[in-house]
Structure 1
């Protein structure tokens, strides 16, 4: 007997048992209630029929006739009759000595009869020692006053016995019907489960990749349709598996041909998937299902993986392995796995180093000659009187100053880049910096320059600004670069410095009404030598390095800088500095 057949059969048995139990409870309660109501109605009718002669006998005090009438009810109808006074004293009883009976004023049927005109109750009679049904009505005189209560009662023990016999017969018939239904259910279950059992066996074969074997149910109903659909599905699965196998091999070849090292690592630290490039980096082979810390003997790599799992976000960091430098990129594939890519950036880092050394050498080699050239040009300018020649020397001095500014800015930028790359903050002098003092310095430096262009120079500080931890000189330098740019690229309107502060950050906003910056350049303007308007930059003496310097100063302070601008709508440079940066 297969499990599926057992489940169906068990279901049928449970349904039949529940139905049988429900029928027992429902039949028992229903018949008892219905037959009890019939007996209540009969006793009620008997009460009303007997009330007229009993009332007459009581009012005329014809107790002989009364006894005869009550005894006739007892003998003919097996009904017990009791007459009770309004105060509960038993006046007559057909089955028991009235003098030995209790006061009936607290009986439910007596109370209801006096108050509602009719009452009944079912309870155990301590007098007769059996379960009784009591029905009572009031007896009234000609003035409609209740002078007694007539109560009839009937033993319901016999009633219940009759009901139980009737119910027993019904349940016996029902039981045999249930047995027949159960036998039919066994047959029906077997009929339906045999094709399903065949289907299960076919699915087991399918799981064993036996795709060439087809299923036959030998039926002409819905199972024949299922047979055809299943065999068609098996055929399609075979085609799909072949295609998947081909694609898998293709992806595996591509995966292994990647120069970048790739590995899939689960939460337990095991290497689930990897390519040949990753395997070459490992000290131990084979590496499948081994812990990454066993095969990659790098403390920094261990830190990166743990950080990627804990932060659950994309992570990119540099990693040195022997003499090579790799850019490690971690991305979450799921809650349990991350994919790790290692890009070899050794050549790029060497180029960067060569570029920095070249810039450093250029700065060193050009600084002294340019200073000398400027000195000689200024001396020559003083000694020459001819206006045309003076004009030529002025142009030479202007361009020499521009070259000197570029060299100085390059030196500053190289210095800042070195600090940022090495994360060396020992040369950044963090101290309590009063923003108001810096604003006064900037005002003294640029207010006159702004007035020369008929620009309003505005400092807007509406709330109290507390000192922050920063390098005062570098913050002054970055703010000076931003204000200098704002004045240089603004022809009319104003240049405004606005400062806001909350519990954690200080926001410095340099706003102008100048030419603005197209949105596509918002990120590039912080690159070295990038200028939006090259002609204006040459004319005004800009080096294209000012914003790059500002960006690196802000980064050293663990801050952020961004721009809000559009053409002909001015620009707004926003610098956000932490009040107390994390410098460890």
Structure 2
């Protein structure tokens, strides 16, 4: 009887274990089916690479994109012949997540690669941005065409206003000067819109070795009179033996003009200083001032188009809110970085780093 009870308990325990295993298998099967449905319903292409870079898992959208029924087991570069995508797939040695825009079959895709540290797999998603790119091109063309159409009549208006101002006195002269000042602001906006559109489009750069100390000296001469009128000290400090940087000299000049212009514009006392120094394999350019500064909550928005920290002062001084957007695009095009630091009432510092030639 005792042995029979033991067998009964053993049998009951075995049956309970089988029931639990069945529940776990059913639960796991349900999860797999759910994941399969999610992958199948995704409009974005998805591919999972193993630690060796071979395709381990794909969804229908990816297979349709590359025109392959069974890409599993092959290297990604065998499935998709795209150098930018191959570089993105190597994200395992860098950051956990990286992104790049690639073109496949005449369409543009924003691809994001995420590394899974535990198993070494890499998950890559493909988001179709063709329509977004098309709309951006339409907007860019509209801006360029409108700017070209506005530039000629605005220049004519400005010229006639200056001529008219010479023949007037009193309030009439003051009214014309106000109109002329706002016309000049419109001309500046049109000019900056054209420059920004050209930069965003990715123009062909005339790349060569550029001596930033010489460019900076030339740019500071442009602002000598304005600085003197405001009682500002304009300083250039360049490290001896500074290496050249590789890029387009005209665009580097635009970067310096915009940064120094802002510094002079928003500084009423003290100095504006440009410093150049070697920083490892890069050259560091710093433009700092003792001006009104920038509130901390506004620093993340500095490079947005038309964003200005002091709207009243910007209107008075003819600012367009496009200068820093232009600066950032140019710096990024040249493989550089830009950072802003500021203390309200103490001044601002913009630091640009560029690869040495």
- CA distance, structure 2, for counterparts of residue 521 and residue 501 of structure 1: 29
Q: Is the 8 A contact 2:54 2:74 kept in 1?
A: yes
Give the alignment partner of residue 28 of structure 2, picking from 209, 224, 244: 244
Deviation, 1:355, is 1.2
Matched position secondary structure for 1:515: coil
Deviation, 1:252, is 2.2
Which residue of structure 2 lines up, in the alignment, with residue 380 of structure 1? Answer: 164
Matched position secondary structure for 2:166: helix
Q: Is the 8 A contact 1:298 1:321 kept in 2?
A: no
Question: Is 1:444 aligned to 2:221, yes or no?
Answer: yes
Question: Is 1:431 aligned to 2:215, yes or no?
Answer: no
Give the alignment partner of residue 358 of structure 1, picking from 131, 142, 156: 142
Aligned residues: 352
Deviations 1:486-532 (A, max 9, x none): 12222333222222225522212111222222333323211221212
Which residue of structure 2 lines up, in the alignment, with residue 515 of structure 1? Answer: 292
Which residue of structure 2 lines up, in the alignment, with residue 489 of structure 1? Answer: 266
- CA distance, structure 1, for counterparts of residue 296 and residue 199 of structure 2: 27
Structure 2 matches for 1:117-516, cutoff 5 A? 218=7, 234-267=18-51, 269-289=53-73, 292=76, 296-300=79-83, 303-304=86-87, 307-308=90-91, 313-334=96-117, 336-385=120-169, 387-419=170-202, 424-425=204-205, 428-433=206-211, 435=213, 437-461=214-238, 463-502=240-279, 504-516=281-293
Matched position secondary structure for 1:361: helix
Once superposed, what is the RMSD of the aligned Cα atoms?
2.9
**TM-score if structure 1 supplies the norm length?**
0.55
Q: Is the 8 A contact 1:263 1:341 kept in 2?
A: yes
Which residue of structure 2 lines up, in the alignment, with residue 533 of structure 1? Answer: 310
Question: Is 1:559 aligned to 2:336, yes or no?
Answer: yes
Deviation, 1:238, is 3.6
- CA distance, structure 1, for counterparts of residue 307 and residue 239 of structure 2: 35
Using a 3 Å threshold, how does the CA distance of structure 1 residues 576 and 391 change in structure 2: closer, same or farther? same
Using a 3 Å threshold, how does the CA distance of structure 1 residues 262 and 462 change in structure 2: closer, same or farther? closer
Deviation, 1:249, is 2.2
Q: Which protein has greater RCO, CA pairs closer than 8 Å, 6+ apart?
A: 2
Q: Is the 8 A contact 1:432 1:468 kept in 2?
A: yes
- CA distance, structure 2, for counterparts of residue 550 and residue 413 of structure 1: 9
Deviations 1:217-241 (A, max 9, x none): 549xxxx7x9887765554444343
- CA distance, structure 2, for counterparts of residue 338 and residue 331 of structure 1: 6
Using a 3 Å threshold, how does the CA distance of structure 1 residues 450 and 411 change in structure 2: closer, same or farther? same
- CA distance, structure 2, for counterparts of residue 450 and residue 230 of structure 1: 90
Q: Is the 8 A contact 2:284 2:352 kept in 1?
A: yes
